[in-house]
Structure 1
């Protein structure tokens, strides 16, 4: 058994959840925040049998497309002596980051 941890853009999560649940995968949804853009994203925890792992990954790929977005540069973490002027930058958003972890034991009560 595997645990799939998928971090996806908030805009992609609803169709992804519908696709996963329609194929009878059990999913836990966590609201999370990205570090660079400090934007909302969603982390999904999906327990899956080894033989269905590729199917889950394919579903995530089909529902989470990356795209370009214009945003302002994030403010620096450390304080500055001068004035910070944000400037527009083009960044890639969407897509998914997927981690697959072996599960030693699975207990459902």
Structure 2
């Protein structure tokens, strides 16, 4: 009777863990869509939620608010979108165009209604 040895994986477990951690770290980076620039180098805090605000290059009317802090328990989408609206208005000095505010607990997008 022959003895058959178990098959070992050719990829070390440490490499798999390292790649997984790298992917998770990349998911946490705060970067806007192409064509947007950071308005405020300092985070903006509104009622415990911390945001970074990005605006379309050249002073355009599109803006993004990225929430960059952890909140426990997780806040409702409605509460965070409302806080992001306050942060956007505070930083840009412009009102938000009606019906343009959309997003979730991490990323909120809007269009500004600034006079020309």
When normalised by structure 2's length, the TM-score is 0.30
Bigger relative CO (Cα 8 Å, ≥ 6 apart): 1
Structure holding more strand per residue: 1
